[in-house]
Structure 1
C-alpha cells in the first residue's frame, strides 16, 4: 500500500458535447475516505483545462531526486525489497539524505542518459517482431506477449516492460487482454509506409477501411517523440476521433485522415495538426474492438507521405 493513490477515469463524449459530459461526471462521481462512507463529504472537482502542468519525468540527474522524494514519502514496505535495495545501492534510502559526491553524481548522470537513450531505442527502433501487429504494416503494440505484467513462460520481458512504461502511463490487465466488443486496443506508429520517421513538417494521409471494427468509437492521437505527451499545437486537440462532428467519411464508408502543418483544402474536419521540427508518433485506439481486429482480417492503413 502507498499513501498516494492516483485514479484515472475516461468518459465517453456524446455528440461532441464536452460540457455535458463533464457535468454528468460531476453529478454522479463521488470520492471520499471509506471511514466517511456513512456521511460522505461533497466531492471537490478541480478543472485543469487551460492550466499548464509538467507531467514529464526528468531525464537528467533530477530523475534520482524524484525517486528519492517517493522513497521518503511512502511507507518503507511500499515497494519490493529488490527495488528498494537497488535504490539503496546508489544512496537513496528512507530516512537518510540523498547526497551523492561528485564521483557518484557523474556516474548517475551518465547512467540516466544511457537509460533514456535505451528506452527511446526500444520504442522507436523496435526490433522484436512480436511487437508488430501485422507483417506488412508499421503498427505496433505496447503489450508484447499480451500480459500487463509482461510475463512469458516464466520470463519477465524487461524490454517490453520498458517499452510500455516509458511510452505510456497507468496499466490494467484489461488493457493488455481486452475481450471482443469491450475495453480498448491500442496500436502506435512512428514511421510512414516507407519506414521513415514521421516528420512534423510534412503531410501524410492514412485510411481506415470500412467497416471499422468497433462497438463504440475510434481515435487517432498524436504525441511528441521528445516528451511522449500530446503534441501542443494551435489546433489544441492533438487528434481526431469518430465522434468529431466535422469528420467526414469516404463514399465507401472508410475514413481518410490527414496529418501535417496545414489542412488540405476542404479536409479541415479530417485533419490533425503537426509541427515542423517536431518528430511525432500516433496512437490508434479502438474502443469496443470487434473480432476482425483480433483475427487480423481488418488492417488499418499506414501513413502515406503526400508529395
Structure 2
C-alpha cells in the first residue's frame, strides 16, 4: 500500500523482462534470406539490403499467387490475338472440338466453345446476343464473374440480348437488354451452345451504337491452331500483370492486391521499369510462386480438396464458392489452384445441381501415391452406372502446361465413344500407356515417355449418386511389367 492509500500494480522486474523479450529482435537472426544482424533492434547497415531483398521476394511470391487470375486472361487475350481473334466482333470457336495443338488450360475435347474479348474502352457499351439453349459466361479482366447468359442467365436458355457497360458509365441504359456494368474495360466471353457450331454461329456481338444495323461477326476456327494462352512462370509474369494494371481503372482491383503490386513498381499510370536487382528477384519470385501453385494443384493439402476420405481424387473447385469465400475469408489456395489449372468462373460451376451443369475430379498419382509416368502402363476402372445424365469423359493433360497432352489430337475417352469396351459388371476399364495394350485400343489414351500426365473426369449432368457420394472412383493402378 502506497502512502497515499493507492495500490501499486504492474509486472515484477522478472516478468517485465520476459515481456520485453517477446517484443525484441535478437542481434543475429538466421533466415531463408541470409543472416540478418542488428544493434539493439536496429538493422546494421550491412544487413539492410538483404532484408529489403527478402521483403521484395516475399511480396513478389505473394503477387504471383494472388495475381494468377489476371495474368491468365492477359495471356489468353494475347494467344487469341495470335490466332486471329483480335477484336470483339471476331469469335474464336473449336470446330468440331478442341485438339491438343493449342496451349490452353484444361480444355475439353467433347464440346464446342466460342471465345472472344470485349473492349469496352474502345467500343463503349456492347451487346451480346446469345443463342437458345446455350451456356455462356462473361468474366472481367481480373477473372471475376460478371454475368451468366443462356440457361444459367436471366434469359433461362431462351436466348436474349445482353448489354455490357464500361466501368463508371453514366450514359443511357436502354430497355430491352439484360444490362451489366463491368469493373474492367476488357472482359472475357465464353459461349457454349448445346447444339454445337451452328448454334454458336448464331451469336452476335456489336456496339450498342450499331444496334439498328449491326455488322456481321467473323468466326475463326481455333481448334487446330498453334498458339499459347497460358501465363508465364518467370519474370514475364509481372510484365503481363503490369499490362493489365496499366489498362484498367485503379478501382478495378482491391487495395490489398493493388498495394502489393505497387510495392513492386506495378501501378496504374506508372511505367514498370525494375532495375536489374528487382528484375532478378521477381524472376525468382515467379518461379518459386509457380512451384507453390503446382504443389497446391497436384499435391493439395486442404482436406476439402479431396472428394473421398483416403482417395487421391480431388475437386478442382474447392469450397463451393465462385468467389472462394468461406466465413468471410478468401481461400487463397483454392483461388490459385483453380486459376492455375482452369479458365472461366461462374456460380454455376460452384453449385452443380442434379441433372444440370457438370462435375469434375482429377488426380496426379496412382494407387500407391506415385506420380504418373508417361512411360508406364496404367488402368482405371470407371464403375458401372456413372452418375451422368448426359455423358462422362476423361481427358489427359500435360503437367507442365496444364493443356491437353500432345500425345494425340484428342487424348481422351468418353461414354460417347462408340467402340468402348465394357466389362461384364458394366464397368469400363481405361488404359494409359505410350502404346495401346493389345486388344484395348478403344479404351486407350496415349501418354508420352519422359513426361508426366494427369487425368480429369467430367460428369455432364451429374446425378444423385454423385451428390450422395454413393458412386466412387477407384484409384489409378500401375500395371507392373
Give the alignment's TM-score, normalised by structure 2: 0.60
1:90-109 correspondence to structure 2 within 5 Å: 90-109=264-283
Task: Describe the superposition over 1:182-223 as per-residue Cα deviations: whole angstroms up to 9, x where unpaired.
Answer: 001111110111111111111111111111111111111111
Does residue 151 of structure 1 match 2:333?
Answer: no
Which whole-Å deviations, capped at 9, do the CAs of 1:78-114 have from their partners, x for residues lacking one? 2223222221111112222111111211221221121
- Aligned with residue 444 of structure 2, among 271, 288, 293: 271
Structure 2: distance between partners of 1:9 and 1:244 = 24
The SS at the match of 1:77 is helix
SS in 1 for 2:186: coil
Specify the alignment match of 1:113 in structure 2: 287
Q: Deviations over 1:131-177 (max 9, x none)?
A: 11011322101222211111112221111211111121221111111
> Pairwise CA RMSD of aligned residues?
1.6
- What CA distance in whole angstroms lies between the structure 2 residues aligned with 1:62 and 1:146? 32
Is 1:176 equivalent to 2:350 in the alignment? yes
The equivalences for 1:3-82 within 5 A come to: 3-12=185-194, 21-26=196-201, 28-82=202-256
**How many equivalent residue pairs?**
298
Report the CA distance shift for 1:10/1:278 in structure 2 as closer, same or farther (over 3 A).
Answer: farther
Distance (Å, rounded) in 1 between the aligned partners of 2:210 and 2:256: 36
Hey, what's the Cα distance between the residues in 2 that align with 1:209 and 1:33? Answer: 50
Show structure 1 runs of 4+ deviating over 6 A.
none
Number of the residue aligned with 1:214: 388
Structure number with bigger Rg: 2
Question: Structure 1's 88 and 22: CA in aligned 2 closer, same or farther, altered over 3 A?
Answer: same
Aligned-partner Cα distance in 2 for 1:9–1:254? 33
Aligned: 1:236 with 2:418:
no
Alignment match, 1:191: 365
CA distance in 2, matches of 1:237, 1:98: 41
Query: Equivalent residue for 1:2?
Result: 184
Distance 2:219 2:471 in 1: 41
SS class of match (1:275): coil
Counterpart secondary structure, 2:188: coil
Confirm whether residue 203 of structure 1 aligns to residue 385 of structure 2: no
Say which is worse superposed, 59-68 or 47-56, in terms of deviation.
47-56
| Cα shift at 1:284 | 0.6
SS in structure 2 of the partner of residue 32 of structure 1: strand
Name structure 2 gaps, 5 residues minimum. Answer: 1-182
Q: Residue 293 of structure 1: which of 466, 470, 474 is its match?
A: 466
Structure 2 match to 1:302: 475
Q: Decide whether the 8 Å contact of 2:193 with 2:199 is kept in 1.
A: no
TM-fit CA distance, 1:127:
1.9
Of Structure 1 and Structure 2, the greater strand share is in 2
Query: 2:388, 2:460 within 8 Å by CA — same for their partners in 1?
Result: yes
Shift of 1:11: 4.3
